[in-house]
Amino acid sequence: MKTTVETGRSLETVGLSRSFGGVHAVRDATVTFQQGKINALIGPNGSGKTTFFNCVTGMIKPDSGTVTFKGHDITRRSPHRIARAGIGRSFQLCRVFPRMTVLENLLVAVQPKGLRDLLSGARNPAEIDRARALLVRVGIDHLENSEARNLSYGQQKLLELAGVLMGDPDTIMLDEPAGGVNPALIGRIATLVQELNAEGKTFLVVEHNMELVMSLSDHVIVFDRGRPIAEGPPETVQSDPRVLEAYLGV
């Protein structure tokens, strides 16, 4: 049963722009993501989706514009301060510590000083219990003592998602969660997103798998050449002439 969540603005940008060497990766992007919903951000390759994500999460600084999260301006905050505010994210290319165990990968995600604390032997029993519960939830608890490099790419995606969940964020940003993942694990990731959303988590998902996007999302925003060109329910967006032109040139 889905938790009742007040619908509103979870995260929004106004006039967000970022250029690289004169090339506009994101241009004057004004976007509102809906709280308590599964929001998808789609667009052709090179349309600025990942750069937009990076600006929102503090990985890179925008040239202009603002990012607001639950009424607070987070535009110039560092990534760790944005994470503490309640935004967690995964990456297009999965980021795990390959020579650390699956369990250690989750524990390092919640250490105040990251890897340094973990290597010093700092282990909190409550955090270990939470990490193990999350491994059960994502379905890789049997790999707890395996080094992350020995997992399949899909399993690493599940591990990365579990790492995001260790911080218990309100809003979760996933950058191509289905990329390079076999169909069985795509189904598992989709189920997890739906379950977590039913519990009140807001999602922002960048994804190229249109079948997944249209079946999973409540609200879809389409980017082309660094700016939003259409938004709305999946069934509306997929028939929008501007979207067809951006993807198909028709």
Q: Specify the pLDDT at position 74.
A: 96
**How distant, in Å, are the alpha carbons of 52, 75, 80, 81, 107 from that of 59?**
10, 11, 10, 11, 22
The domain segmentation of the chain, as residue ranges, is 9-96+170-248
**What are the Cα distances from residue 25, in Å, to 18, 46, 48?**
6, 8, 5
Is 234 strand, coil or helix? helix
To 10 degrees, what angle do helices 153-166 and 125-138 make? Answer: 140
Helix, strand or coil, per DSSP, at residue 9: strand
DSSP notation for 65-78: EEEEETTEE-TT--
pLDDT at 2: 46
Reported in sequence order, the residue ranges of the chain that DSSP labels E, i.e. its strands, are: 9-20, 23-34, 38-42, 64-69, 72-73, 87-89, 171-175, 202-206, 219-224, 227-232
Q: What is the pLDDT of residues 75-114, one digit of tens each?
A: 989 998 999 999 999 987 788 899 999 999 999 877 655 4
Residue 116's pLDDT band (cuts 50, 70, 90): low
**What CA–CA distance (Å, rounded) separates 170 from 189?**
18
Q: What is the share, in percent, of the chain residues with pLDDT greater than 90?
A: 69
The CATH fold of domain 9-96+170-248: Rossmann fold (3.40.50)
Q: Which amino acid is it at 198? A: A
Give residue-wise pLDDT tens across range 169-210: 999 999 999 888 898 889 999 999 999 999 999 999 999 888
Token pair recorded at residue 92? 């297009």
DSSP 216: H
Query: Confidence class of residue 117 from pLDDT cuts 50, 70 and 90?
Result: low
Q: Are 87 and 175 within 8 A, CB to CB? A: no
